[in-house]
Structure 1
Amino acid sequence: MQILINTDNHIGGDTKLIERAEATISSVLDRFGDQVTRVEAHLSDQNADKGGPGDKQCVLEARIAGQQPVAVTNRAESADAAVGGAVDSMAHLLDSRFGRLHHTKGGASIRHMSPE
């Protein structure tokens, strides 16, 4: 799974922030490595230099093999918290998506059961 981190002009895209974001994404979403080909994180500061509550935003987009990409958004006080919240939301979304794909409703049909 490839991980890309993008930042706007108001969030310093220093190597420490990028490494922390990659580590957070990797630690939570690695279990989807077979299904997810790429994850992109877009970090932005909604209020620029003004500050304020919940002004850091992380949009997380996951490219799923053979399906349309999915995205989640999270706002928080810091870039790290925004990434953490977005990753948790994405994990929940992917659990739901892949759970539905691999779950058969009910179970074996009575028509296909062998007589004993």
Structure 2
Amino acid sequence: LQARGSGRIVNLCDVSADRPWPDHLAYCASKAGLAAVTKGLARALAPDICVYGVAPGIAAFPERFSEGSRHTLTRRVPLGREGTPEEVATLARVLLESGDYITGEIVRIDGGRSLV
């Protein structure tokens, strides 16, 4: 990208970088690190390369999750449901195609969960 003098990078972050889960601290710490790398790269590579982060919340439950567990988690989401991998991919695609004046941002896609 640097040799070409332009480009875009999208990192798959996670909302848990800001709200760590006690039982998954290593994962949450790695996502917090990736968020910091995203912001640092955005500064280092500007103005030629834009760097973004996409931070999904619940974006597809593993099959092993019971209906009760799913309900417990989604009832706290203002939009009332889990997201889909396709919605996350669509956001990444929008940033890649249209993010000309955005860099260093971590965009949450969590159905509003981070608001509550």
Which category of TM-score, normalised to the shorter sequence, fits these structures?
Answer: under 0.3
The structure that is helix-richer by fraction is 2
Radius of gyration: which is bigger? 1
Length-normalised TM-score, structure 2 = 0.28
Length-normalised TM-score, structure 1 = 0.28
The structure that is strand-richer by fraction is 1
